[in-house]
Amino acid sequence: MKRILISPMYGMGDTLLTTPALRILKENKPDFCIECITFQKTSYDLLKENPNIDNLICYPFLKKSKIESLIYILKNITWKYDAVINFYPSNRIDYNIFSFLTQAKIRIGHTYLKSNFSQLNWLKNRTIKENYYLHCVEENIKLLEFLGIKSDKAPPMEVYLKDEEITSGKNYLQKISNRTIKIGIHTGTSSFKNHIHRRWPKEKFLEVVNSLEQFDFFLFGTKEEEEENKFIQKKSLHKNVYLIENKNIREVAAIIKQLNIFISNDSGLMHLAAAVGVPVVAIFGPTNPNWVKPWGVNHKVISLDLSCSPCFYYSPKPLKCYIKEKFKCIREIESNTVIKAILEILK
């Protein structure tokens, strides 16, 4: 039996975007032992119960020193796998060093069009070139060719929720709202590497809420979105806004699954909504919808399509805007455009 290790991914969205490739890998190589290592509990929880993974590991690399992490890898990872896959995007020196330290005979990943050499992508020995026109899901599936798997299909993303989790999410919403149409909102994004500038202004979200008084709205997020969410709830005219707080990620997934539609910036929760089968209105600014638009569900992408967009590419560098009207691409999207998209999907 061959042992395949899936290298750790940082974000919730990146983790979910690997699940179609994991399904194809297991379907084509059922005798392979597929193991995933995560370093975020959120990612670990999203992959729990996934039947395409034989062993799921969580090790908190970010909370450990480099020496502690190195000792863990040498003791538990090195020389124990036939192949390691750095799924897309992983244009970071840390991921490539991790891949090399596994000493797997086959080390799979991408070569990147920007910052490729400096991030040590040459430490992998089976690579394909990044394609700006492919979705992350498609990039990940292409990597499986190094394991003898060619697939024309691209299944949806997946989160395997238990029946009792789904029932709990349904009961939770029923206690709050008896309206037919329930809409989720995520006002946030990761703040990592200056990505807070991918956020559509909270005032625009409020305009959407105040224009659709016949629907109920549910605001999701953590402490990072607390200010925006409380602003929208306080300023809403029709008192049809509810905060979803103090829930773990699987509880959040079960609640989102009950919604009719989800409105979001380019964020992990946008992908989570798609993974549980909910239609999405996705608001894009500096990032590339070709790579990360909602996968496998009915969706509308909202973008100004400026000549300078998208300007973000995968590298360790923080997000920057190079025009005078900073982040105009996200700030100047009008609420009427989002409202129109919502109503079109609801038809």
Whole-angstrom distance, CA of residue 114 vs CA of residue 288? 15
Whole-angstrom distance, CA of residue 72 vs CA of residue 346? 50
> Is residue 173 located within the same domain as residue 322?
yes
Whole-angstrom distance, CA of residue 13 vs CA of residue 50? 16
* Entry pTM: 0.93
Is 123:93 a contact under the CB 8 Å cutoff? Answer: no
> CA-based Rg of the chain, rounded to a whole angstrom?
20
Bond preceding residue 286 cis, omega within 30 of 0: no
- What residues have CB less than 8 Å from 13, skipping those under 6 apart? 267, 268, 270, 271, 272, 292
> Is residue 214 located within the same domain as residue 322?
yes
> Is residue 142 located within the same domain as residue 167?
no
| Residues spanned by the domain of 94 | 3-147
Whole-angstrom distance, CA of residue 293 vs CA of residue 299? 8
> Is residue 125 located within the same domain as residue 32?
yes
Query: Closest Cα partner for 82 from 53, 109, 103, 58?
Result: 103
pLDDT one digit per residue (tens) for the chain, 347 residues: 699 999 987 789 999 999 999 999 999 999 999 999 998 899 999 999 999 999 999 999 989 999 999 999 999 999 999 999 999 988 899 999 999 999 999 999 999 988 899 999 999 999 999 998 999 999 999 999 999 999 988 999 999 999 999 999 999 999 999 899 999 999 977 666 665 767 889 999 999 999 999 999 999 988 888 999 999 999 999 989 999 999 999 999 999 999 999 999 989 999 999 999 999 999 987 778 888 999 999 999 998 876 656 656 666 666 575 656 666 777 888 999 999 999 999 98
> Is residue 96 located within the same domain as residue 190?
no
